[in-house]
Amino acid sequence: MAARGASAPSSVHPSTHQPLAERLRPRTLGEVIGQQHVLGPGMPLRLAFESGRPHSCILWGPPGVGKTTIARLMADAFDAQFISISAVLGGVKDIREAVEQAQAARDGLMQQRTIVFVDEVHRFNKSQQDAFLPHVESGLFTFIGATTENPSFEVNSALLSRAAVYVLQPLSEQDLKQIVALAQKEHALPAIEDIAIDRLVAYADGDARRLLNTLETLSMAAAQEKLPEITDAWLLKVLGERMRRYDKGGEQFYDTISALHKSVRGSDPDAALYWLVRMLDGGADPRYMARRLVRMAAEDVGLADPRALRLALDASEVYERLGSPEGELALAECVVYLAVAPKSNAVYKAYNAARAWVKQDGTRPVPMHLRNAPTKLMKELDYGKGYRYAHDEEGGFAAGENYLPEGMPEPGFYQPVERGLEIKIALKLRELRDRNTAAATPGVQDSDTAS
């Protein structure tokens, strides 16, 4: 979300010594750029402002979308004392001081409300988050937490249940262009080519703070070189290769790898390539990507095309040999192959079913005929007695032999799908089951059912 205006009254020209982000920070709700899905007329957060009664909330969104700005505007709207705590730098001492300040404001002559804003609230541990609970419940202050991480995972359920969650979005290209126009209106940067503006907006990637900081850097550099206009060529020289914002370990990272996996599973090679390149462009470790591709080959392609797993391992090895950027082509080849390959999760489901069975089942003894008998004593105890060596049987299959523990029903873990190689596997398994049935039924010959 963008910012406009300054802390000083409108009649006072904002200090040019202030950072541009502060000079353009919104002073009213109407000056806010972006986040209209929560701040527009009739939208939830706008209604909260208009109600006259502040409420505790969590502002969840990526960097530079206006979380701090909204919290400050809420304090202004309700004429409340604003106390800001950084969860990165603060601790219990800061929480205690905030409580004391809130009590002083409540019990003073003016009886002022207090809003406690906790930036990066997900950085506080459970006990630190719990310290806010009694004061939120008593109404001593209104709690506003800002987080770039999913609050479902990072904020205590007790605190989360007492706060509304508002999801903020990255700014659109049009929003970011409005910020550039405002900066020019404030004479914060010289003239700039339209194509250079487009490149700046792409560089900011939805982050208003990143855009404002970049504009300030460009303005100073242009002033030093006495440039009358910022051109696209000069911009490229100053910025270097554009890199998108990317959170290598947080919510955005896992959302993107999820999109890649689901695109492969959904047999869309273009979408799969897009998400792969997004991750590589954003700085994801190609070795991590190679490991994920191996997983996709085993989980989603499986025995419908066993070559997929080999190809994924080959792609990983090629990357180790060539490194970046040459080795990344092998990852792209693998992604396309996985996307267009026939899909089966039959082995994945069978493995999970077997794990669940073993977890809840007792420890069944290994049948005597399946036990190993390396010593004379073990042979005398009938270890391995009656075992039928499949290679000596007709067709290499010991029809009617049982390989499960005694008394254990046929579990049917593996159910091949009617796709790819598993079509042939299913036919083979049906043939073997028929031979087992024939061997167990008196008077029926194997040849009656064998193909």
Residue-level pLDDT, tens digit, the chain, 451 residues: 444 333 333 333 445 567 888 888 898 888 899 999 999 998 988 988 888 888 999 999 988 999 999 999 999 988 899 999 999 888 889 999 999 999 999 988 778 999 999 999 999 998 999 999 999 999 999 999 999 888 988 898 889 999 999 999 999 999 999 999 999 888 888 899 998 898 888 888 889 998 998 998 888 888 888 888 999 888 888 876 554 555 555 667 788 899 999 999 999 999 999 999 988 887 788 999 999 999 999 999 999 999 999 999 999 999 999 988 899 999 999 999 999 999 999 999 999 999 999 988 888 899 999 899 888 888 888 889 989 999 988 889 989 888 889 889 999 999 999 999 999 999 999 999 999 898 887 665 544 444 3
How far apart CA 434 and CA 446 sit, in angstroms, is 8
Amino acid at residue number 206: G
Q: Is the peptide bond before 170 cis (omega within 30 degrees of 0)?
A: no
What is the per-residue pLDDT for 249? 55
Question: Residue 450 has what pLDDT?
Answer: 42
pLDDT for 7 equals: 33
**CA 11 → CA 7, 62, 132, 208, 387, distances in Å?**
11, 33, 39, 25, 97
The radius of gyration computed from the CA coordinates of the chain, to the nearest angstrom, equals 32
Report pLDDT for 204.
85
For the residues of 382-433, what is the DSSP string, one character each?
Answer: TTTTT---GGGSGGG--TT---SPTT----------SSTTHHHHHHHHHHHH
pTM, to two decimals: 0.62
Token representation of residue 353: 């079913």
pLDDT of residue 14: 47
